[in-house]
A and B are shown apart, each in its own frame.
Chain A
Amino acid sequence: MAGVFNILLEGLTGGLVSVFKIALIVIPLMVIMEIAKDLHILDRITDMCSPITDILGISKTSAFPLAVGLAFGLAYGAGVIIQSAKQGNIDKRDLILMSVFLVCCHAVIEDSLVFVAVGVNGLWLLTIRTVTAFVLTVAVSRIIAVKHEENGSSESDNDTMQ
């Protein structure tokens, strides 16, 4: 019985430690985001990313959550996505495309370095992973676009907004 208790305790502490690590990044990140918004820097940054977001077929506002997920990890990116979704800045289509990209490719710095430690070429790993995620996201975005056309005009209002 004590064994089961210890295992549950180990799980609880492990979970809380992960959450604490996320807090150390997410809270400052959200503050920086609000500052960037108030100084209108965020708009300029998202404008600069527009060539990339255009290719991926997502709206400009998705650039920030994508960048966070790529740099820090899936949970961090997801945190920003949840927050943006609450504020109504992201539609369902963007949500799916961002998730497709991020589940394939996230925390690229940490994940690549970890494998460098066991003798694998990190740059090579990073390149294959990023390119694959890019190609897959573009493909899914085209598939969704085709489906939209087939569904007729009922949902096409969303497209004209972009």
Chain B
Amino acid sequence: MISSDTFKRGAKNGIDTLIELTKVIVPVYMIVTVIKHTPVFSFIAGVFSPVMKVFGLPGEAAIVLVLGNLLNIYAGIGAMASITLTAKQAAIIALMLSFSHNLIVETAVSKKVGVSIFLVLAIRLGLAAATGVILNLVL
């Protein structure tokens, strides 16, 4: 039954888990912050802006997707507010970002669990692209 040992075990497991996650999250978060302060985002967005047509999105939407994918959903939404989008375009971006976001940190965490980085990225980017194209056609 429950004893003080139960709590001790729980706390120990919690702290052990936390140490494992800290080893991944802190360094990766630092790398992402450094990237944030470089022109990398606008460069990548420039490369991807012609592709946006496939999803029925304006070229500027590339910066939303790039920020959401390399930083996190909140960064993407922040950029979303700065461009004009129709309801359909907003829905497409939302679905694409919900499948694929915060890729650097989350892929590092998945890698820690033991899945291949390639598999994770292929699934997430693949789903985001596929649902983006489909939604643009059906909506």
User: Which positions in A face B, CB cutoff 8 Å?
Assistant: 7-8, 10-12, 14-16, 18-19, 22-23, 26-35, 38-39, 74-75, 78-83, 85-86, 92, 95-96, 99-100, 103-104, 111-112, 114-115, 117-121, 124-125, 128-129, 132, 136
8 closest A-B pairs (Cβ-Cβ)? A31-B10, A11-B33, A11-B30, A15-B29, A27-B14, A30-B14, A15-B26, A34-B10
Interface positions, chain B 93-137, Cβ under 8 Å from A, are 94-95, 97-99, 105-106, 109-110, 112-115, 119-120, 123-124, 127, 131
Interface secondary structure of B, over-half rule: helix
Q: Which residues of A contact B17 (CB under 8 A)?
A: 26, 30, 79-80, 82-83
Interface secondary structure of A, over-half rule: helix
Q: Which residues of B contact A85 (CB under 8 A)?
A: 113-114
Contact of A114 (CB < 8 Å), options: B10, B34, B74, B81: B74
Q: Indicate whether B52 reaches chain A with its CB closer than 8 angstroms.
A: no
User: How many cross-chain pairs have Cβ atoms below 8 Å apart between A and B?
Assistant: 167
A151 smallest CB distance to B (angstroms) = 19
Whether the Cβ atoms of A103 and B123 lie closer than 8 Å is yes
Interface string of B11-53 (1 = CB under 8 A from A): 1011111101110011111111110010000000000000000
